[in-house]
Copies of this chain bind each other. A is one copy, B any other.
Amino acid sequence: MVRGSEESSRVSKERAILSATLEELAQTDYGSLTFERVAARAGVNKTTLYRRWETKADLVRAALTSVAEVYRAGPTTGSLRGDLMRIGRATTQFMLSFEGQCILRVRLLERPEPELAAMAKDLQARSLGDISALGRAAVQRGELARESDMMVVSELLGGALYTRLVMKSQPATDAVLSHYVDMLLHGVAKPKKRRAR
């Protein structure tokens, strides 16, 4: 009982530290981020951070990875439509979450700091790996012609959600997601009437 509550307090403290790291990163920049500032923001002692992470890079990587884990695409649901809806929902939750908004504000992929850029690249590669795996599964089921199409579809879907949620502050309900996904699956062009009938 006591052991369990100690463990849950450790986990919630770690979560607070990683969240404070992202917030600090979004409000200052990688160069100015220090263990002192993160500790102050999380309301913990600096030594708590040093005990767990050796360098600033370790801390920031842990913060970014923890968020990426929560919102990653995961294994296939068994259908291309199901997978796209799940990607859409996970992307929506990510973009609306506090951590997601910090990461979007950091504009990770545009950063000039080599250490941070390398982390962003790692995370992107992992996410692309997940998407590829879903594409392979869809090809195997005969639902998709090329694995690489999955990448293009997820670019279109992710971009539309970014525009809608972040730039326009409009909601992305399941109905909106369904509309996007159906259009991506079947296209918007009206099928031409058959000539010979």
Contact = CB atoms under 8 A, between A and B. Distances in A.
Main secondary structure of the interface of A (DSSP, over half): helix
Interface of A: 80, 107, 109-110, 142-145, 149-150, 152-153, 155-164, 166-169, 179-180, 183-190
Copies of this subunit? 2
A108 to B, nearest CB: 9
Contacts of A80: 189
A155 B163 contact: yes
Nearest to A157: B156
Contact of A159 (B156, B185, B186): B156
A107 B104 CA distance: 13
A162 to B, nearest CB: 6
